[in-house]
Structure 1
Amino acid sequence: MHVAVKVVVSCAGLVASLLLQTLLALADVPVSVDVLLVAALGLAAAGFFGPDLEVRTKAARARADFRAALSAFLDLVWITLAGGAGVEVALLAAAEVGRGRAFTQLRRALDAAQLTRTTPCSTLRRLGEDLDIAELAELAASISLAGTEGAKIRTSLAAKAKALRTHLVAEAEAEAQAATERMALPVTLLFLGFLGFIAYPAVTQVLSGL
């Protein structure tokens, strides 16, 4: 499906270049064939690689949303552990409480572990590899130590949840700073254009007097 979208958008770029050539011909605007060829190839390339950039952006946003949900999941797990529940029970209970796509994926992974009689850490590690989320692999490693170091797992999960929230806040601040910098560029260009508009009559008079 994704490849089909890329092909369609690329063909649309070629069609757009042909329409542009037709409009220029009707308007009697001379344009080099080389320029039209470069424009056609540029539009086709942009149409072919544009969907990839969109998919990467959506994937990065989805991973950020998953990490935000994972921090809440970790909090729920260690709170349930503090209430005396076992590790598997705490994982299932925390996954059942939450809502959203991330919690749905966590529930499916834990249900798959029960159905296949495998450990939750293996399914969570596999989910982390599929989604390219390293924090899930770290969670799986912490859970695998629960059998020998059960007294420390609550502290470990609480620390991981706090570190994950701190990382998310830092990313949000960096993104907001980058957005602010991007907004400053159009304002600067507008200001320079306004100055040029004001100074143009004076510059014209000076140049005409020379």
Structure 2
Amino acid sequence: MMLAMLAGAAVGAGILILVRMAVRPVPGVAATLARVDGAKRRARPRPGAEDGKKPDMIDRWRTSVGERFEDEVSARGWSFTRTRADLAVVDRPFAQHLGTKVLLALAALVWFPMIFTLLGYDPFGVPAVVTILFAVGAFFLPDAELHRDAEKRRRDFRHVTGSFLDLVAMNLAGGRGLPEALLAASTVGDHWAMVRIREAITNARLSGRTPWEGIAQLGQELGVDELRDLASTLGLAGDEGARIRESLLARANSMRRRELADIEGAAGESSQSMLVAQLLMCVAFLVFLAYPAVSKLG
């Protein structure tokens, strides 16, 4: 009875999702603007689009399904702030991420019933519940992988930001003004983080805004708190003429100390993991040695 109720609940939830997807709500102004912005982002040429490599069938399906779901998400006004920030860090489109999630879930729904059928089990009942659980896990698996990759890129970005602050302080010591020092420091190097900072400063300059406003917008887009704090400090210096060179050097040193503390913490966690693995190997070896004697006693 319980399995039948679970199966009925799963079917009802699926029908409800299909109905909600079919019935399009009346979008508000914010949702309409979000859909227009999404269409503009998809129309921009991406860095990997100029190499002449044509996407295969799976990539086309993933893009098509992802764009469909992105339109539905935008029409309902769902923001997904954290996911979009992680995607901005790894430079991956939102539609592609959504398409990957949906296709993985559908593959799990098709693959596991086939496996259970080949093994001789009835695909309904307990295998059906297991299949649904695996489909849910497959749906959220790209989010976990995306967050892990984004955190690695953010650590790399913080490291580059510390070097950027040193370069800005050097340009300020050379007699340049703050906007010119920011632009000159961002032109040193072709690292992806430095390129993003340079693009933010250049776009802010072309749109008539201050460079620290562009840095603040970049920090909000990428989810990097250090950039927002840096923008506040630069805005104070630009508006009130505060002494900024010493402040930038102190902030760079603080970021390096934090990065060193994070590295030491990660090394300590790795050491603990290796110790646990060694203890497990020792326990397994002792069980291997003691099993013949214990079996003869029985």
TM-score over 0.5 for the alignment?
Answer: yes
Q: Please say if 1:149 is aligned against 2:149.
A: no
- Structure 2 partner of 1:44: 135
- Structure 1 partner of 2:262: 171
Tell me which of 81, 103, 114 is aligned to 1:19: 114
Tell me which of 118, 124, 136 is aligned to 2:227: 136
The 1-side partners of 2:139 and 2:277 are apart by 28
More displaced stretch, 111-120 vs 173-182: 173-182
Query: More relative contact order in 1 or in 2 (CA 8 Å, sep 6+)?
Result: 1
Contact 1:95/1:103 (<8 A) preserved: yes
Unaligned runs of 5+ in 1: none
The 2-side partners of 1:201 and 1:32 are apart by 41
% same residue: 38
Q: Which has the higher helix share?
A: 1
Unaligned runs of 5+ in 2: 1-95
More displaced stretch, 87-96 vs 110-119: 110-119
Tell me which of 109, 117, 127 is aligned to 2:208: 117
Contact 1:73/1:98 (<8 A) preserved: no
Tell me how far 1:103 sits from its aligned partner.
Answer: 0.7
Q: Does the C-alpha gap of structure 1 residues 15 and 159 become closer, same or farther in structure 2, counting only changes over 3 Å?
A: same
Q: Please provide the CA RMSD for this pair.
A: 1.8
The 2-side partners of 1:22 and 1:32 are apart by 6
Tell me how far 1:153 sits from its aligned partner.
Answer: 0.5
More displaced stretch, 13-22 vs 2-11: 13-22
Tell me how far 1:31 sits from its aligned partner.
Answer: 7.4
Structure with larger Rg? 1
Give me the TM-score of the superposition, normalised by structure 2. Answer: 0.64
Tell me how far 1:33 sits from its aligned partner.
Answer: 4.8
Tell me how far 1:180 sits from its aligned partner.
Answer: 2.7
- Structure 1 partner of 2:147: 56
The 1-side partners of 2:142 and 2:247 are apart by 40
Contact 1:122/1:140 (<8 A) preserved: yes
Aligned length: 202
The 1-side partners of 2:231 and 2:97 are apart by 32
SS in 2 for 1:145: helix
More displaced stretch, 120-129 vs 73-82: 120-129
Q: Does the C-alpha gap of structure 1 residues 201 and 21 become closer, same or farther in structure 2, counting only changes over 3 Å?
A: same
